[in-house]
Structure 1
Amino acid sequence: MIDPNKISRLLKTRLLGRVMTILDEIDSTNAEAMRRLDGGKAPDGLVIIAEKQTAGKGRRGNDWFSDGGLCMTAVLDAGGRLSGPVALAAGIGVAEGLSTATGLDFFLKYPNDVISSRTGGKKIGGILAQSKRGSLVVGIGVNVGRASFPAGLAESATSLALLGIDLDLETAAAGILNSLEPWLFELKGGNFSLIRERWLKLNCTVGGRVVVRDATPAVEGVAVGLDADGALLVETDRGLARVLTGGLSDG
């Protein structure tokens, strides 16, 4: 069982994780946070961590395999600011938190993937950012101790264990929350330019060819940057395209 006392001892946050719920099993930590917000039982800064998710989802409803992983959701009162690059800010926090905890570098693939290396890296984590009743609901999944993946995922996913890192879930959770909180505060304060600048330094998308398959029509070209709202800018044969979300794959 995850030890909340160990997480609390490692926390350096002002708000995130100061109220914490640890669950043996849940359908989804994001779904549970939404239910608690609906019921008025989700205080600002609440963190929910589950040993296992039975219906965890990533962006676009993709299944998230939780075995041996960290499944965590943080709730933050948005102060009226529910727009902005939430997934980008959260991704920075996750990448920096994992780097601090492991000594390895991690990178970001637009819009919400945490990658094990800048070139040819595999996905080690992801973000599902939602909102409810004026609060941000930031779901984080990180492959920590998983030793293998199904055949369809083995070529694109990895874990800390497969990278040779032995890290317990408590240390991973605290490290991520410590790095995540200041970036969510920057988001809440409207400091999108700082978020954009930091994301660009950590990203492995800009400069490469990308295909956005669920756009109509599909967008294919070279990613050249982010605009002020956090949309990906792609230079295509038809000109500059602005992609805010989408199923992004390498071109």
Structure 2
Amino acid sequence: MSAQAWPIAELEAQLHAVLPGCRVELVDEIDSTNTELMRRARGGRATEAVLLVARRQSAGRGRMGRPWQSQSDDADAAPSLTFSLGLPLAPRDWSGLSLAVGVAVAEALDPGARAGLALKWPNDLWLQDRKLGGILIETAISQGEASTADATAGRYVVIGTGLNIGRRDAQGMSTPPACLREWRPQASAPGALLQIAAPLLQTVLEFADTGFAPLAERFAARDALRGREVQLSDGTSGRCEGVGWTGELLVHTAAGMTSITSSEVSVRPRAAC
């Protein structure tokens, strides 16, 4: 698919309506959209909002450094959508941002949850217990701001998203990945991005003002882990009781209720799930 097939002008118009000045960049291939925007931020070259879209990533990555492979949207490959939104942000509390992003993406792709698109804490999109996509959030203080007294108040945030549009090879995976075309056979990467981009930006800006709490019930409606037995990365197991008002995972273990944050553990359903 050529660059002309991507609705860049329409995307920019939608984003400008939410945040004037937000740009859209499309590249044929890059190592990682997140990596590129983080390079710009750390080098003092990122001060404005930008949506960076790649037809293909050669070194995409997810949470905890896991690789995320992507392919272009053409007739010979199962397509994927990979993009990163970068912008200066100064929320009252950063807790729960990945969950807020997940809510925005899921609601844009599956309004009313008719297809059953669910959210696995803290940053995955699931369809029938199979991974459809993932979210990676990183922040940086640019070199020009590093010496200021309030450098930690506002940072440049990079929100990366990867989605399977078509079916992918499941080789080496314990569970075949899900894809958007399972319930939307004509779906394309450009079309999916057009649905996601503006609602995502709007949600991120609202999060900066109000935090995660106003989104907690919307997350709960798509919570893939609530009520299920889970195992934490330290070997502890228990029953997931949903998420708290700041996005922490609540797990009832043998020792009682435990609050888990994304920086402490990874959570995986038991094999039976």
TM-score for the superposition, normalised by structure 2: 0.81
Classify 1:5/1:168 alpha carbon distance in 2 versus 1 (closer, same or farther; 3 Å).
Answer: farther
Equivalent position amino acid for 1:63 in 2: P
Give CA deviations for 1:60-80 in whole Å, capped at 9, x if unaligned: 111112121111000122125
Q: Does 2:235 align with 1:227?
A: no
Aligned to 1:127: 135
| C-alpha distance in structure 2 between counterparts of 1:55 and 1:150, whole Å | 19
Aligned to 2:269: 250
Aligned to 2:206: 186
| C-alpha distance in structure 2 between counterparts of 1:103 and 1:13, whole Å | 28
Q: Does 2:158 align with 1:141?
A: no
Contact 1:234 1:242 in 2 (8 A): yes
| C-alpha distance in structure 1 between counterparts of 2:18 and 2:65, whole Å | 32
Aligned to 1:152: 172
Contact 1:128 1:138 in 2 (8 A): yes
Classify 1:121/1:143 alpha carbon distance in 2 versus 1 (closer, same or farther; 3 Å).
Answer: same
Equivalent position amino acid for 2:110 in 1: S
The structural deviation recorded for 1:174 is: 1.8
**Per the alignment, in what secondary structure is the counterpart of residue 83 of structure 2?**
strand
Q: CA RMSD in A?
A: 2.4
Classify 1:9/1:50 alpha carbon distance in 2 versus 1 (closer, same or farther; 3 Å).
Answer: same
Contact 2:118 2:125 in 1 (8 A): yes
Aligned to 2:147: none
Aligned to 1:206: 226
Aligned to 1:30: 34
Classify 1:176/1:16 alpha carbon distance in 2 versus 1 (closer, same or farther; 3 Å).
Answer: farther
Aligned to 2:96: 85
Identity of aligned residues (%): 29
**Per the alignment, in what secondary structure is the counterpart of residue 166 of structure 1?**
coil
Classify 1:171/1:205 alpha carbon distance in 2 versus 1 (closer, same or farther; 3 Å).
Answer: same
Contact 1:91 1:112 in 2 (8 A): yes
| C-alpha distance in structure 1 between counterparts of 2:175 and 2:159, whole Å | 27
TM-score for the superposition, normalised by structure 1: 0.87
Equivalent position amino acid for 1:111 in 2: P
Give CA deviations for 1:211-240 in whole Å, capped at 9, x if unaligned: 112x3xx22110012223211010011211
Matched positions, count: 244
The structural deviation recorded for 1:209 is: 0.7
The structural deviation recorded for 1:9 is: 5.8
| C-alpha distance in structure 2 between counterparts of 1:82 and 1:53, whole Å | 31
**Per the alignment, in what secondary structure is the counterpart of residue 7 of structure 1?**
helix
Q: Which 5+ residue runs of structure 2 have no aligned equivalent?
A: 72-78, 142-154
| C-alpha distance in structure 1 between counterparts of 2:197 and 2:11, whole Å | 10
Aligned to 1:61: 65
Contact 1:16 1:45 in 2 (8 A): no
Compare CA radii of gyration and give the structure with the larger one. 2
Equivalent position amino acid for 1:182 in 2: Q
The structural deviation recorded for 1:87 is: 0.6
Classify 1:76/1:11 alpha carbon distance in 2 versus 1 (closer, same or farther; 3 Å).
Answer: closer
Contact 2:105 2:196 in 1 (8 A): yes
Equivalent position amino acid for 1:123 in 2: K
| C-alpha distance in structure 2 between counterparts of 1:136 and 1:22, whole Å | 19
Contact 2:11 2:24 in 1 (8 A): no
Equivalent position amino acid for 1:22 in 2: L
Deviates more, 1:195-204 or 1:163-172: 163-172
**Per the alignment, in what secondary structure is the counterpart of residue 60 of structure 2?**
coil
| C-alpha distance in structure 1 between counterparts of 2:103 and 2:173, whole Å | 24
Equivalent position amino acid for 2:197 in 1: L
Equivalent position amino acid for 1:61 in 2: G
